[in-house]
A and B are shown apart, each in its own frame.
Chain A
Amino acid sequence: AQKITQTQPGMFVQEKEAVTLDCTYDTSDPSYGLFWYKQPSSGEMIFLIYQGSYDQQNATEGRYSLNFQKARKSANLVISASQLGDSAMYFCAMVGYGQNFVFGPGTRLSVLP
């Protein structure tokens, strides 16, 4: 069975600083995808970044980068130059071949002015 762990229920970061949100996963599938989603108070799920299990390089999307350490089964999200609008819930998720999405419990990020 697949499982996602996010050990940080809440995080604070000063505006313009970088922050790392932790995510570890467990799966027996050799092929899988890892995702990060942002959920603001409005409830919508906003796709941030994707990492495939066979991707050699860490994914980057603008201010978002994914620190993928396959041997450690971790897929931490790094947000650089935090902005006030980054305050939201962040979910790590994974999907294996032929399987459904599994979401982690989420981390609430608060960006301080």
Chain B
Amino acid sequence: GAVVSQHPSWVICKSGTSVKIECRSLDFQATTMFWYRQFPKQSLMLMATSNEGSKATYEQGVEKDKFLINHASLTLSTLTVTSAHPEDSSFYICSAPTPDRAYGYTFGSGTRLTVV
């Protein structure tokens, strides 16, 4: 079945540095990728939607200059957290529409980011 591979699974970085998170669709082409953030004990909140070959669409309140999203190919979407601060520490997860079903989305395994 369709798989979205997300890396890294966890990362610890120093405040002020940038972190890149990758989501790759395996065995299928993902023209759209959704990026979510999840704080502890909370639900998933959509941050942005990336579309291959065009600019990402950001949800209200999400800083596009801080959370850079690139969808350069049909199998790779990246989220870069720039100048990370401790308040950016969270669980980030991506998902793409599942091609072999008329419904449903395939999620990556998530990235736990800790900024110290």
Interface residues of A (CB under 8 A from B): 33, 35, 37, 42-45, 47, 50, 52, 91, 95, 100-101, 103-106
Q: How many whole Å from B2's CB to the nearest CB in chain A?
A: 11
- Which of A37, A44, A52, A100 is in CB contact (< 8 Å) with B103? A52
Between-chain CB contacts (< 8 Å), 16 pairs: A35-B104, A43-B93, A43-B109, A43-B110, A44-B107, A45-B93, A45-B110, A47-B104, A47-B107, A52-B103, A95-B103, A100-B49, A101-B95, A101-B105, A104-B43, A105-B42
Q: Are A45 and B107 in contact (CB under 8 A)?
A: yes
Contact of B44 among A44, A47, A52, A103 (CB under 8 A): A103
Interface size bracket, B side: 10 to 19
**Minimal beta-carbon separation of B78 from chain A (angstroms):** 19
The closest CB in chain B to the CB of A44 belongs to B109
Complex contact A101–B110 (CB within 8 A): no
A residues in contact with B91, CB < 8 Å: 43
Query: Judging by beta carbons under 8 Å apart, are A33 and B103 in contact?
Result: yes
Other A-B pairs beyond A100-B34, A101-B46, 18, CB < 8 Å: A33-B104, A37-B107, A43-B93, A43-B109, A44-B110, A45-B44, A45-B93, A45-B95, A45-B107, A47-B104, A47-B106, A100-B49, A101-B34, A101-B44, A101-B105, A103-B43, A103-B44, A105-B43
